[in-house]
């Protein structure tokens, strides 16, 4: 009798977004190219009219809408958790999701909620990282992909890449150079999690040796 080895189950992703969803599209494209060992199980949003939901639906992805309810935040969050858990989700990807998630939500997916943020954390946490970087006059900013803890834009850092700030930059022009970096880094980080290649030690993420200095270390001799 021939035993056919069964391939390990691919990780199932929930992608949470509030806006245009370009990171969701980049992740779905990377999955289609075969570079991420995961599938998008569901795309969820707190904003029923978020353009990212229409983009997800256009490519045949499942979507759920859980409109934010300011009057009962914890009931809203429970409903969101239930709605995505119903899709058998292993990893939650925050791709421009503009709400803060509590410890109760995060406890459903310990060390498996990942966020992409347009700054080199811990600099410029918060909703206007690009504007804040410009206001501070920094010469370099960048992109961080990190695991999410209970603080805003905080938690073990998975990947970072620097992006130069030009003297003539506006929020729009800088975002235009940050976005392609986000689109490149987020799928790499999700693949690492999907393949269980991230260890957490003392609150820091330890990556496998082949990615320990990803992207290439330009300061190396």
List residues with catalytic annotation. Answer: 117
The yes or no reply on residue 148 touching ligand GRF (CB under 6 A) is: no
* Minimum CB distance to ligand GRF, residue 161 (Å): 12
**With contact defined as beta carbons under 8 Å apart, do 119 and 133 qualify?**
yes
Among 12, 20, 149, 207, binds ligand GRF (CB under 6 A): 20
Q: How distant is the alpha carbon of residue 27 from its chain centre?
A: 9
Out of 23, 63, 141, 160, the residue judged to bind ligand GRF by CB under 6 A: 23
Distances in whole angstroms, Cα of residue 8 to Cα of each of 22, 38, 105: 29, 11, 27
How far separated are the first and last CA of the chain, in Å rounded?
55
How many residues are recorded in the chain?
221
- Give the whole-angstrom CA distance, residue 95 versus residue 43: 10
Stretch that binds ligand GRF, among 14-22, 58-66, 79-87, 197-205 (CB under 6 A): 14-22
Binding mask 175-214 for ligand GRF (x = CB under 6 A): -------x--------------------------------
Residue whose C-alpha is closest to residue 148's, from 10, 9, 16: 16
Q: CB of 57: closest distance to ligand GRF in angstroms? A: 15
Which is closer to ligand GRF, CB of 51 or CB of 83?
Answer: 51
Check binding of 17 to ligand GRF (CB under 6 A): yes
Q: Check binding of 52 to ligand GRF (CB under 6 A).
A: yes
Residue 118 in the binding site for ligand GRF (CB under 6 A): yes
Kindly write down the DSSP assignment for every residue of 146-166, as one continuous string.
EE--SSTT-S-EEEEEEEEPP
The verdict on 155 binding ligand GRF (CB under 6 A) reads no
Specify the 3-state DSSP secondary structure of 203: coil
Q: Is 45 in the site for ligand GRF (CB under 6 A)?
A: no
Question: What angle do the packed helices 171-194 and 129-136 form, to 10 degrees?
Answer: 130
Q: Which helix (H) or strand (E) holds 138?
A: none
- Contact string 53-92 vs ligand GRF (x = CB under 6 A): ----------------------------------------
The answer to whether the beta carbons of residues 152 and 100 sit under 8 Å apart is yes
Shortest Å distance, C-beta 171 to ligand GRF: 11
Q: Where does this chain bind ligand GRF (CB under 6 A)? A: 17, 19-23, 52, 95-96, 116-118, 182
């Amino acid at each position: 009798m021939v035993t056919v080895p069964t391939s390990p189950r691919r990780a199932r992703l929930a992608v949470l977004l509030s806006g245009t969803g370009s990171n969701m599209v980049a992740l779905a494209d990377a999955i289609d190219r075969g570079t991420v060992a995961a599938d998008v199980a569901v795309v969820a949003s707190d904003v029923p009219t978020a353009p990212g939901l229409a983009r997800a639906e256009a490519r045949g992805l499942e979507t759920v809408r859980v409109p934010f309810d300011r009057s009962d935040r914890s009931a809203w969050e429970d409903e969101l958790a239930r709605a995505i858990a119903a899709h058998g989700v292993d990893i939650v990807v925050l791709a421009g999701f503009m709400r803060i998630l509590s410890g109760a939500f995060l406890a459903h997916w310990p060390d498996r909620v990942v966020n992409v943020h347009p700054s080199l954390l811990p600099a410029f946490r918060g909703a206007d990282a690009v504007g804040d970087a410009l206001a501070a006059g920094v010469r370099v900013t960048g992109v961080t992909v990190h695991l999410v803890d209970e603080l805003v834009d905080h938690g073990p850092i998975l990947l970072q890449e620097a992006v130069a700030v030009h003297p003539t930059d506006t929020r729009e022009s800088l975002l235009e150079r940050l976005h392609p970096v986000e689109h490149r880094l987020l799928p790499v980080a999700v693949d690492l999690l999907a393949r269980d290649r991230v260890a957490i030690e003392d609150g820091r993420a330890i990556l496998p040796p082949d990615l320990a200095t990803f992207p290439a270390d330009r300061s190396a001799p």
